[in-house]
Amino acid sequence: MLPCKKIYIDSKFKTSDSKSTSDFKFELKETMLLPSNSIAYIDNITIPHSWYSVEAGVNDKLYVQMTTTETDPALKPNICKIVQLAPGNYHITSLANEVVDKLNAAFATGTIPTHFSLTMNLPENKFTLAPAVSTLVFKILTDYDLKNGLPSAIGPWNSSWTGPAFNYETSEDINEMINNFDGPSPFSNSVIHFKTSYVDLQYVKNIYLHSPNLSTFSTVGVLGERTVIKKIPVNVGNNELIIDSITSSSDWLDVSRMTLKTIQFQIKNVKGQIIPLHNAHVSLSIVFDKYRTSVE
């Protein structure tokens, strides 16, 4: 016999040692001993769309290199900085203004207080950045640059990254938002501008629900994770409620002979990052059943 038919989970009742409402533990009032051939479904999921389009420690950084058109390598500067954006919900214009404001603040000098100018392309949801001074050139590092590094030399000039050290796996950049992925980034100047592709303000397309307790390592995430128990499409906008239920009778978890007492849940994006919910709560149900034949 099954010890119960359904368990209701709500992060409002997370344990005191839980990290957040998107990385929490839930302790059952009694220990559940599940018999052989037990299966479970994750159902009645509700998750508030309460994360920001730009999140601190998730996607709030630009990696920028600036130099001049000076041809003498001894006089040619190589200024590399990690520019951090303020977290919050943005639309295309407010994001573009935040980018150019933070770039100007990062590279401002007494003689050149403004280094970048901004042009909006609202019909195509894009924007363009250009040096406000004709002798300046810059690049915003692509994913390729972040992973492989900048060239150590362009001619006799040392063109390698000179800014703070960083780990590509945790670069927390906004390249996905501005579609700045492919190949080595070229230098942009007052004639050849830096142009974003379509600016995608919804960086989370699917939520991946993880649980090391309920997973039997029978699923494989895009990064090879083995603890994913449910993929939940984000089908509503900011400040709305994502609701997901059982969609397939074969989407069950083998929980045979499990002992359940404290269950851990993590709400992650496709990159394996915890999605900040800013203390908004999630809920779900675990529905138990018996498999008709032996679970292989």
Q: Which class does domain 6-51+204-290 fall in?
A: mainly beta
Q: What is the pLDDT of residues 194-243, one digit of tens each?
A: 999 999 999 899 999 999 999 888 889 888 999 999 999 999 999 999 99
> Could you tell me the residue ranges of all domains in the chain?
6-51+204-290, 61-195
Backbone dihedral angles phi then psi of residue 186, each to the nearest 5 degrees: -80, 160
Q: What is the pLDDT of residues 96-127, one digit of tens each?
A: 999 999 999 999 998 899 999 999 999 999 99
Q: What is the pLDDT of residues 149-189, one digit of tens each?
A: 999 999 999 999 999 999 999 999 999 999 998 899 999 99
The arithmetic mean of pLDDT across residues 119-142, rounded, is 97
pLDDT of 217: 81
Backbone dihedral angles phi then psi of residue 39, each to the nearest 5 degrees: -130, 160
pLDDT of 292: 66
Q: What pTM value is reported for the model?
A: 0.88
Asked if pLDDT for residue 295 goes beyond 60, the answer is no
Q: What is the pLDDT of residues 49-104, one digit of tens each?
A: 999 999 999 999 999 999 999 999 999 999 999 999 999 999 999 999 999 999 99
pLDDT of 216: 81
**pLDDT tier at 138 (50, 70, 90 boundaries)?**
very high
Going by C-alpha positions, the residue among 23, 17, 7 that lies closest to residue 281 is: 23
Distance separating alpha carbons of residues 189 and 186, to the nearest angstrom: 10
Going by C-alpha positions, the residue among 242, 226, 245, 246 that lies closest to residue 234 is: 242
Going by C-alpha positions, the residue among 246, 129, 137, 255 that lies closest to residue 196 is: 129
Q: The tokens of 185 are what? A: 């980034």
Asked if pLDDT for residue 8 goes beyond 80, the answer is yes
The arithmetic mean of pLDDT across residues 275-292, rounded, is 94
Element (H, E) at 101: helix 92-107
Which residues are paired to 286 by β-bridges?
A: 7, 42
